[in-house]
C-alpha cells in the first residue's frame, strides 16, 4: 500500500527539480517554460493524491482547470518566444536584459 | 512490498530521472523528449491514484499537443550553438544545496507522521462499474458549469492572442474588398472574343 506521504514527497522532489531547472538554466527560454510545466505537473500530482485519499472529486476538477490554464499559457508563451527570436535573433536568457529599470 | 508499491517506485524512479535529465540536457529537443517521458510516468502514477480521465488528458493534450508544439518551435527557431556553452554559471552548487534543503524540509513536513497510512488510510478501490469520467462530468456540468465555460473562453482568448502575436501583416493575405465586389460591371468579368475559324475553301 502506497501512503499519501510518499506521493507528496515524490511531488515535492519533482517541484524542486523544476525550481532548480529555472534557476540554473541559461541556455534558452524554452527550457524555462518546460520547467514551469514540470512544476505544474508536480502540483497536480498533489491535487490528485489528496483527491484520491479524501474521496473528493473536486481535486481532479481543479487539476483539469490547471491543465487548461497551463495549455493556454504555453501557447501564448511560445508565441512571445517567437516574437523575441524575431527581434533579438536569439532565445538565450542573457539577451532578455534590455529592459533595464 | 506489495505489487502496487513496486509499480509506484518504478514510475517514481523514471519520473525523477527523466526530470533531472530534462533540466541537465544540453539539447532542447532531447529535453522535450525527456519531459514527455516524465509526463508518461506522471500519468501512470495518476492512474494508480484512480484518476483515469486526467491521466488520459495528460497524455493526449500534453504529450500530443503541447509537447509537439514545443518541438515545432524548437525546430523552427535556429538556436545558436554558442549559447549552449554559456549555461550553468556559478549558481549551480548553491542552487543544488538550496534544493536539497527544500526537499529535506518538505520530506520532514510531509513524512509518515503527518500523512502516513495510520493518519490517511488507503481508500477502498472502486468497483468495476465505477466510471471516473461519469463522476467528473456530473460535477462539470452541474456544480462547476460556469468555471467550465470560463475555461472554454480562456482557450479562445489564448488562440486569438497567439495568432495576433505572431501574425505578420499584408504578406500573401487574400482579403475581401466589398466595394469593388459591388461595383463590378459585366464587362470586367466577361470578355467576348470572336474566334474566326480557318476557312476550308482555300483548297
Can you tell me the ipTM of this complex?
Answer: 0.91
Region A40-54: what's the mean pLDDT? Answer: 94
* Interface with chain B: mutation pick from A2, A65, A91, A94, highest number of B CBs within 10 Å: A2
* Interface with chain A: mutation pick from B54, B143, B146, B171, highest number of A CBs within 10 Å: B54
* Cell 524540509 -> residue: B105
pLDDT digits (tens, 9 = 90+) for B30-53: 899 999 999 999 999 999 999 999
Total number of domains in chain A:
1
- What mean pLDDT is reported for chain A? 88
A76 domain residue, yes or no: yes
A35 domain residue, yes or no: yes
Distance CA B180, CA B92 (A): 64
- Nearest-CA distance A99 → chain B (Å): 20
Residue A100's pLDDT band (cuts 50, 70, 90) = low
Measured from the Cβ of residue B56, the count of other Cβ atoms closer than 10 Å reads 15
Distances (CA, A) of A46 to A21, B7, B14, B26: 20, 18, 18, 29
Chain B residues whose beta carbon lies within 8 Å of the beta carbon of residue A55: 123
Contact A71 B88 (CB under 8 A): no
Chain A residues whose beta carbon lies within 8 Å of the beta carbon of residue B48: 2
Residue A60 has a pLDDT of 93
Chain A residues whose beta carbon lies within 8 Å of the beta carbon of residue B87: 24-27
A6 domain residue, yes or no: no
Helical residues (DSSP H) of chain B, grouped into ranges: 3-24, 28-48, 52-57, 67-76, 91-109, 112-115, 132-142, 145-166, 178-182, 186-189
Q: State which residues form the domain around A74.
A: 27-93
* Cell 474521496 -> residue: A55
Partner residue opposite B15 with nearest CB, options A14, A58, A90: A14
Contact A68 B91 (CB under 8 A): no
Distances (CA, A) of B80 to B74, B85, B187, B199: 11, 10, 57, 71
* Cell 536569439 -> residue: A90
* Interface with chain A: mutation pick from B8, B49, B61, highest number of A CBs within 10 Å: B49
Distance CA A58, CA A69 (A): 17
pLDDT digits (tens, 9 = 90+) for B99-140: 899 989 988 888 888 888 888 888 888 888 889 999 999 999
CATH classification at residue A34: 1.10.287.3510
- Nearest-CA distance B176 → chain A (Å): 27
Distance CA B82, CA B15 (A): 30
Amino acid at each position: 500500500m502506497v501512503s499519501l506521504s510518499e506521493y507528496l514527497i515524490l511531488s515535492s522532489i519533482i517541484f524542486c527539480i523544476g525550481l532548480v531547472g529555472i534557476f540554473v538554466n541559461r541556455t534558452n527560454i524554452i527550457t524555462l517554460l518546460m520547467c514551469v510545466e514540470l512544476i505544474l505537473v508536480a502540483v497536480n500530482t498533489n491535487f490528485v493524491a489528496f483527491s484520491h485519499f479524501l474521496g473528493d472529486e473536486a481535486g481532479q476538477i481543479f487539476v483539469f482547470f490547471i491543465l487548461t490554464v497551463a495549455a493556454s499559457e504555453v501557447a501564448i508563451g511560445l508565441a512571445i518566444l517567437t516574437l523575441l527570436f524575431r527581434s533579438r535573433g536569439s532565445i538565450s536568457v542573457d539577451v532578455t536584459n534590455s529592459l533595464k529599470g | 512490498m506489495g505489487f502496487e508499491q513496486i509499480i509506484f517506485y518504478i514510475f517514481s524512479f523514471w519520473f525523477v530521472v527523466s526530470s533531472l535529465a530534462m533540466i541537465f540536457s544540453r539539447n532542447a529537443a532531447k529535453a522535450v523528449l525527456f519531459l514527455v517521458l516524465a509526463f508518461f510516468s506522471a500519468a501512470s502514477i495518476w492512474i494508480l491514484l484512480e484518476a483515469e480521465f486526467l491521466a488520459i488528458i495528460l497524455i493526449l493534450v500534453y504529450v500530443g499537443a503541447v509537447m509537439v508544439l514545443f518541438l515545432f518551435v524548437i525546430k523552427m527557431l535556429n538556436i545558436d550553438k554558442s549559447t549552449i556553452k554559456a549555461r550553468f554559471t556559478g549558481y549551480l552548487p548553491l542552487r543544488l544545496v538550496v534544493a536539497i534543503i527544500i526537499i529535506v524540509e518538505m520530506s520532514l513536513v510531509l513524512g509518515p507522521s503527518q500523512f502516513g497510512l495510520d493518519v490517511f488510510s488507503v481508500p477502498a478501490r472502486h468497483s468495476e462499474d465505477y466510471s471516473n469520467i461519469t463522476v467528473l462530468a456530473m460535477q462539470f456540468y452541474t456544480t462547476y458549469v460556469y468555471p467550465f465555460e470560463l475555461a472554454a473562453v480562456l482557450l479562445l482568448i489564448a488562440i486569438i492572442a497567439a495568432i495576433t502575436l505572431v501574425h505578420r501583416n499584408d504578406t500573401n493575405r487574400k482579403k475581401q474588398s466589398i466595394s469593388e465586389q459591388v461595383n463590378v460591371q459585366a464587362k470586367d468579368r466577361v470578355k467576348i472574343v470572336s474566334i474566326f475559324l480557318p476557312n476550308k475553301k482555300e483548297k
